[in-house]
Structure 1
């Protein structure tokens, strides 16, 4: 393990903050990993690392810090409270597609550290729109009975850190894996889960993450997941993850045990639970170049008499950076029946959305992206993708027997090709502006042979961010 003693490879974060998922600049955390070769853990939301200084334009790095720390860039000492910071965000957006829609929202994010090591973080959002869609950067998950106004706690948790150990309790966003455009096991496709999460980093090259979360309190459904990030050499990061979604009258202590593999537990004791394995690797063969792969194992059939198919998902991608420009390509394929299960209560869903990849089963997608901050304070991105969706969905369950020759993708395949151009402007101070324009073409729409559609859309969003 050459080079391990040189640095705490998985540590050294600036301020301990993270850029909110969905912000246009969040992708630059991963770009900076390729640019600098500074390896980060395979869990997110992505954090800013001290080693990326010099790899990004100074203005961009300062903006990433500002986004990640409540108080519009930092916290201050308050007598009797400790360190405190808060940010007020206001946004207005207009979008033109088949009709013109308007949206507006505001959020308050707060940070409190009453004593060193103990932190409390929360973000509360409220938004309204003419089409019931959220403005850019706001969570779309709230679906209240009263249309027009949406109130949501995006995240809120308390954490305690001592040395290489951290425990956190509350609603915490999580993204696991190296994928740039989607994550297979845990992503931000569904609302953040309410959880108990543990981090432990006994050495600079090794980091453990474990969580136990409530998926649906009404049906007593829970999710347990754990992950090891290993950096055996300075040019590679390996990730080993496992999750299990189960229903129970009470918490299963066997699944809350973070140090044992859960698949044999559910196989021998609770065959009705939905267990998954995930293995990923990211390599950095040279500064400015990275490649990654991720394999999700929902089910491997080692008994052939029932004719059941394997249920796998995988992603492969690569990125090349030159200066402040990143070129990214990624392909993802997810087999039919992945994320599903024979019992509907054990579908891999949270509030009706897949906890893993939003692509869903019976689908594949190729994506190309270019992002540049060479003209900072302008940031420009261009993304194009082509996807194929078969007729399989997470809601079809998993039959007891099935011939494996059903094709991929299955049935009448919906083909979708799209491109979107995004331009963001950060003039300094509290203001920022985001504009997008895109086009999407679809063939066999909704799996109807010959049904076609084409749709153009554009949007403009103005944002103000104030420290309180």
Structure 2
């Protein structure tokens, strides 16, 4: 009798928990779409799939590319794939996902997709992000090994909304494994340079030559409800001014260009909704410049690339790009 009672009690408990979970967790939702691109080189297919179950979201986006040649060749890959847990204004992500750092529309000099087009791929990462009324923040840890060594990419980006003005800051660091533990702490808004200063103060040998930092600052200005402009400045390595021997403190000079190049990049762009009062139309423009030797390093380990593609997007060193786009919106055109 006692065993039957215990069995019935456990069964009722399990049934109650199942019914409670069904009442709390909303019904599962799924969405998918397929995009294709056909040109004289071949056919590309991209399938984007999302599955939502309460606060948990699973996403998967494989692609297939067929080249038209005498010997037809087909390749495939994974653009994105992973899980995301959303708890209010906090999100935790694990898997492969495209991440962009910067205000741009076409290029993201600090961190962008690997490659371009439908076959562009994200990074394999663990990340978290949160939003407040004015602050948006994301921190990530991505696995970007070389052919011979293990390598991590540490990154964070924050934007602060001041009404018509938005300030942005981002940084990434290619890091060797084996750095002191505090480099990997998931604390928000602390620049990696602070950890560098701590390591130098404590004279920790394992931190010497252990990472390479890139940083970016940007500004977005909204003028009315239909117009905004933005600009960004990327710093890979910018030589510090120096004082030659025998000169006064007011005679600081920049390092000669042939000694230490300015490995920087900059970007400016704008967005104009309903130009000249034309409804249903939006105009975009953007210019991006990456200086020579940017993303490169004397130690190949710290070259800012992964899978032979720049981590800052399709633009490599000593390149620039101007984009002009006129697009229609959901409003009635003309």
* Correspondence for 1:369: 325
Say if 2:217 is the partner of 1:292. Answer: no
Determine the C-alpha separation between the residues in 1 that align with 2:72 and 2:130: 43
Partners of 1:231 and 1:163 in 2: CA distance:
20
Cα 1:372–1:86 change in 2 (3 A) is closer
1:251 Cα deviation after fit: 8.8
Confirm or deny that 1:239 pairs with 2:178. no
TM alignment of 1:333-344, pairs within 5 A: 333-344=289-300
1:318 equivalenced with 2:270 (yes/no): yes
Q: SS of the residue aligned with 2:57?
A: strand
TM-score by structure 1 length?
A: 0.54
1:148 matched to 2:65: no
Q: Secondary structure at the match of 2:183?
A: helix
Cα distance between partner residues in 2 of 1:152 and 1:367: 28
Cα distance change, pair 81–339 in 1 and its aligned pair in 2 (3 A) = same
Q: 1:50-82: per-residue Cα shift (whole Å, max 9, x none)?
A: xxxxxxxxxxxxxxxxxxxxxxxxxxx9xx994
Of stretches 175-184 and 262-271 in structure 1, the one that deviates more from structure 2 is: 262-271
The gaps in structure 1 that reach 5 residues or longer are: 1-76, 96-100, 133-145, 378-468
1:195 aligns with 2:132: no
Evaluate the alpha carbon distance shift between residue 197 and residue 107 of structure 1 in structure 2; reply closer, same or farther with a 3 A threshold. Answer: same
Alignment match, 2:220:
282
Report the equivalent of 1:178: 103
Aligned-pair CA distance for 1:112: 2.1
Equivalent in 130, 151, 160 of residue 85 of structure 2: 160
Indicate the residue corresponding to 1:110 in structure 2.
Answer: 49
- Please tell me whether Structure 1 or Structure 2 has the larger radius of gyration of its CA atoms: 2
Could you report, residue by residue, the CA deviation over 1:190-215 in whole angstroms, capped at 9, with x for unpaired residues? 431100010112x2111110000001
After superposition, give the CA deviation of every residue in 1:99-154 in whole Å (9 maximum; x if it has no partner).
xx4x334444332223x21111112222312159xxxxxxxxxxxxx971212121
- How many Å separate the matches in 2 of 1:288 and 1:344? 45
Are the structure 2 counterparts of residues 126 and 309 from structure 1 closer, same or farther at C-alpha, using a change threshold of 3 Å? closer
Structure 2: 5+ residue stretches without partners: 1-21, 116-120, 201-206, 245-254
Structure with more contact order per residue of length (Cα contacts < 8 Å, sep ≥ 6): 1
Superposed CA deviations along residues 335-384 of structure 1, whole A, max 9, x for unmatched, are 2221111210111101100010422112233333322358979xxxxxxx
Change (3 A) 1:311 1:130: same
Q: 1:236 to 1:83 in 2, by over 3 A?
A: same
Does the CA-based 8 Å contact 1:87-1:109 persist in structure 2? yes
Task: Kindly state the Cα deviation for residue 223 of structure 1 after the two structures are TM-superposed.
Answer: 0.5
When normalised by structure 2's length, the TM-score is: 0.74
Partner SS for 1:292: strand
CA contact (8 A) 1:88 1:106 kept: no
Aligned residues: 278
Greater strand proportion:
1
Cα gap change, 1:198 to 1:343, in 2 (>3 Å): same
Whether the aligned pair in 2 keeps the contact of 1:298 and 1:338 (CA below 8 Å) is: yes
- Cα RMSD (Å) of the superposition? 3.0
